[in-house]
Amino acid sequence: MDKYKVSILTGVNETKIYELNKREPIGKEVLVKVDCCAICTLEQRVYDGVRKLYPFAGGHEIAGTVEKLGEDVKNIKIGDKVAVRTLNTCGECYYCRSGNENQCVVSYKSTIHEGFLGPGGFAEYVMVNAKSIYKVADDVDLKHAALTEPLACCIHSVNQADINLGDDVVVVGVGIMGALHIQLSKLKGARVIACEIDDSRLEVAKKMGADVVINSTDMNNVISEINKLTDNRGADVVFCTVPSTQVASDCIKITGKLGRAIMYTSFHPDNPVEVSVNHIHSSEMVITGAVSPKNVDFLTATKLISNKSIDLSHLITSTEKLCNIDEAYKKALSPTAYRIIVESAK
Ligand SMILES: [Zn+2]
Ligand SMILES: [Zn+2]
């Protein structure tokens, strides 16, 4: 029987390649040859031992080529280039039925390789249900298609912000998520002000199209710059992409009347912050969050990537082969890295 390779996280700073049996897809299943899979935060935390989920089949930012189809698959062809959505939702709960499946009460990451928990994108092949497959244009670089999931998360966040033409949008933090928020806000017609403590990341912000960049080491400076830029109104929209509750509190301070403050990231540690509810009352500002994309956000992400409306080239720091995945994890853990892509090609 044909075999395929899969990389499994087996301990702190430890991975192993396993060989599993390849099988034929049945029903709605699709066999995808993985070309690229990006390393996200979850896999980094398992690799460095912050989350000890061993053994774990990591890799949920998957792009590849359709190799074989089950007999009931109708809308996908062999040879299609695709992004794979690995977050499954139940379709039965209140939130799924009200069109908010990102809030599904039983959402889970599929187990793709027999015997191993996890989304399993660091492998030569994945077998997935057709509903998890999103086609991209034939001329798309699959390294870019591997960033569909992070882009979809940011699309959901930007949709929460309800940006109008000419709005002043502040993006705090220019990691990959901040960089994507900058580009998406520009597509929505905003003036984008990027804040970041690292000057090299402010250079990335400029490449992403930010109109104004501010070094945010001194938050008082940020507040006075934003007041200057907005005639003391404050920002229409602020995205917090930095996992610090102090920064979250500052984001609320720079949001103006009728403004929207979006807590994009999760916060560690989750220290409570003080807010003036009277200020919320009188300013009618909205403080909200964004967690996981809906299916439509994933679809929109594949459209933006297929149409080349988003520039992902600056956000891929390097590419490693599956057999060198330890090297890829080490690079991903560097604070200067954006995305590291693992290529599965033989
Ligand atoms: Zn991810
Ligand atoms: Zn559900």
Please state the domain extents for the chain: 3-147+312-343, 154-289
CA 260 to CA 290: how far, in whole Å?
12
Distance (Å) from CA 210 to ligand 2 centroid:
37
Question: What is the CA 114 to chain-centroid distance, rounded?
Answer: 26
Distance (Å) from CA 149 to ligand 2 centroid:
19
CA 180 to CA 316: how far, in whole Å?
12
> Quick one: which of 213, 187, 189 has its CA closest to 201?
213
Q: Which bound ligand lies closest to the C-alpha atom of 60? A: 1
Phi, psi dihedrals of residue 154, rounded to the nearest 5°: -75, -35
Tokens 């992070």 belong to 150
Distance (Å) from CA 29 to ligand 1 centroid:
23
Distance (Å) from CA 38 to ligand 1 centroid:
8
Q: Which bound ligand lies closest to the C-alpha atom of 94? A: 2
Q: Which bound ligand lies closest to the C-alpha atom of 92? A: 2
CA 179 to CA 162: how far, in whole Å?
18
Q: What is the CA radius of gyration of the chain?
A: 21
Distance (Å) from CA 293 to ligand 1 centroid:
11
Question: What is the CA 223 to chain-centroid distance, rounded?
Answer: 28
Sign of CA dihedral 196, 219, 248, 254: negative
Q: Which bound ligand lies closest to the C-alpha atom of 61? A: 1
Give the other-Cβ count within 10 Å of 64's Cβ: 28
| Predicted pLDDT of residue 300 | 98
| Helix, strand or coil, per DSSP, at residue 249 | helix
| Predicted pLDDT of residue 29 | 96
Whether the upstream peptide bond of residue 272 has omega within 30° of 0, thus cis, is no
| Predicted pLDDT of residue 277 | 96
Distance (Å) from CA 21 to ligand 2 centroid:
32
Q: By the 8 A CB rule, do 331 and 320 touch?
A: yes
Which homologous superfamily does the CATH classification assign to the domain defined by 3-147+312-343?
Medium-chain alcohol dehydrogenases, catalytic domain (3.90.180.10)
**pLDDT tens-digit profile of 72-93?**
999 999 999 999 998 888 999 9
Q: Which pair of tokens denotes residue 132?
A: 């998890």
Distance (Å) from CA 152 to ligand 1 centroid:
10
Query: How high does pLDDT run on average in the chain?
Result: 95
> Quick one: which of 184, 248, 190, 189 has its CA closest to 219?
248
Distance (Å) from CA 106 to ligand 2 centroid:
6
Q: Which bound ligand lies closest to the C-alpha atom of 121? A: 1
Q: Which bound ligand lies closest to the C-alpha atom of 105? A: 2
Beta-strand pair 3-11/14-21: antiparallel
Distance (Å) from CA 313 to ligand 1 centroid:
17
| Architecture of the domain spanning 154-289 | 3-Layer(aba) Sandwich (3.40)
Residue 225 to residues 178, 212, 230: CA-CA distances in angstroms?
19, 10, 9
| Predicted pLDDT of residue 109 | 64
| Predicted pLDDT of residue 111 | 73
* Run of H or E residues at 280: helix 277-283
Q: By the 8 A CB rule, do 314 and 179 touch?
A: yes
> Quick one: which of 203, 139, 156, 248 has its CA closest to 338?
203
Q: Which pair of tokens denotes residue 50?
A: 């912050």
Distance (Å) from CA 103 to ligand 2 centroid:
7
Distance (Å) from CA 100 to ligand 2 centroid:
9
Q: Which bound ligand lies closest to the C-alpha atom of 332? A: 1
Q: By the 8 A CB rule, do 171 and 210 touch?
A: yes
**What end-to-end distance do the CA atoms of the chain give, in Å?**
18
Give the other-Cβ count within 10 Å of 180's Cβ: 27
Per-residue pLDDT of the chain (346 residues), as tens digits, is: 799 999 999 999 999 999 999 999 999 999 999 999 999 999 999 999 999 999 999 999 999 999 999 999 999 999 999 999 988 889 999 999 999 999 999 876 667 898 999 999 999 999 999 999 999 999 999 999 999 999 999 999 999 999 999 999 999 999 999 999 999 999 999 999 999 999 999 999 999 999 999 999 999 999 999 999 999 999 999 999 999 999 999 999 999 999 999 999 999 899 999 999 999 999 999 999 999 999 999 999 999 999 999 999 999 999 999 999 999 999 999 989 999 999 997 5
